[in-house]
Chains A and B, each alone.
Chain A
Amino acid sequence: MKEKHLTPAVFHILLALSTEERHGYAIMKQVEEDSLGRVKMGPGTLYGSIKRMLDSGLIEESEARIDPKMDDARRIYYKISGSGEIALKDELRRYSHLVKLTRKLGLSFVA
């Protein structure tokens, strides 16, 4: 069976949610930080992916609450689901395999 890879946006969102529940803006900031500023998601891109991930069960909505680091508005938080964790682990395993392979091939750009 053909293996289904995650899109870069979905991968980064899952990675951002792998450590804790976050609201939309916090996900955008975390993705930017994780990618060293290379991936900047606008709200349109982020929520397009979030909607698809909710529909496919990769993430779930958590309750709305106030973010103590921000103003007193209540924000909807998102959390990674069981199938989301499996998909993220599979993707990380694939990346890990690729890194091992490039090292084995002696490609100099791998740290």
Chain B
Amino acid sequence: MKETQLNKFFRFLLSLYPASFRSRVGDSMMQAVVDSLAGSSTVEKLNIAGNLFAGAAVENGKAIYAKFMREPIFNKHRIYLLGFLLVVPGILMISLLVLGINPPLGPLDPYFSADNPLGKWNALAVVFGTVLLLPVVGVWIATGGGSKPDFRSLLVAAGAGLFLVLPLIALQLVYGGLSYSSFPLVMFTILWLLPTVAIYLAAPLFTRLRQAEMPMFDPLSFALRIAALLPVAIMWLALVKDQMPCFLGVPNCD
């Protein structure tokens, strides 16, 4: 029998459940959903959809807890997750600063304010901590928690990242001159590392889209990739926008 659009939608909702859950009861659950949908009203169908969505949120929450928090304190996954949680706010903060917006820090504000003699050093620690942690966390997300990165994909991502930075380097060399002292090596390294991490994270998503495998993606991995990808992209664009006058040789630019 040809699967209806409605069943396809509910199959998609089921795909939001963790893989371990689907492998255990997925088929039986889909059959129960099909049985429940037969002869049900629109309101009942919406109730079923809401119930499945809420169930997926609960089961994913439990899966995340089981994977990262229930194991011993020196669990590798937990350390990486904490790294991830540190990196994302760090990237957002840097992006906002580069865009000229003071990030709303709430109770943390005194630690970074100009009145605090250590404020500048605290901000620098966040910037360097974020930049240092980013590749490590990126590899962790991309390998699905495993420790061995896919070096071939990493090389392709590094090449693609370089391709994005090369025009900017060319602009700097043309307008800023060939002087070693005036070449912003650290800036270009960051501008190269950011798209490398972003492309490495995004590549599997595009591969799955191309192979039309989206309905069976791993929701946890998808959420982590998107959560890391967006701020990285924002930060890269913000840095390029901020530094563009320097690349174009505008005098007294910093």
Contact = CB atoms under 8 A, between A and B. Distances in A.
Contact of B29 (A24, A70, A73): A24
Contacts of B233: none
Interface string B50-72: 11111110110000000000000
Given A24-B31, A76-B31, A42 B55 contact: yes
Interface residues of A, number: 18
A38 B28 CA distance: 24
Nearest to B30: A43
Contacts of B35: 24-25, 70
Given A42-B51, A47-B25, A28 B32 contact: yes
B51 A45 contact: yes
A23 B21 contact: no
Given A25-B35, A25-B36, A45 B55 contact: yes
Given A43-B48, A45-B55, A73 B31 contact: yes
Contacts of A103: none
How many of chain B's residues touch chain A, expressed as a range?
A: 20 to 34
A13 B26 CA distance: 18
Contacts of A42: 36, 47-48, 50-52, 55
Interface string A29-70: 000000000000011111110110010000000000000001
Nearest to B50: A42
B27 interface: yes
Interface of B: 21, 24-25, 27-29, 31-36, 47-48, 50-56, 58-59
26 contacts: A23-B28, A23-B32, A24-B31, A24-B32, A24-B35, A28-B32, A42-B36, A42-B48, A43-B33, A43-B48, A43-B51, A43-B55, A44-B51, A44-B52, A44-B56, A44-B58, A45-B55, A47-B21, A47-B29, A48-B58, A50-B25, A51-B24, A54-B24, A70-B35, A75-B28, A75-B31
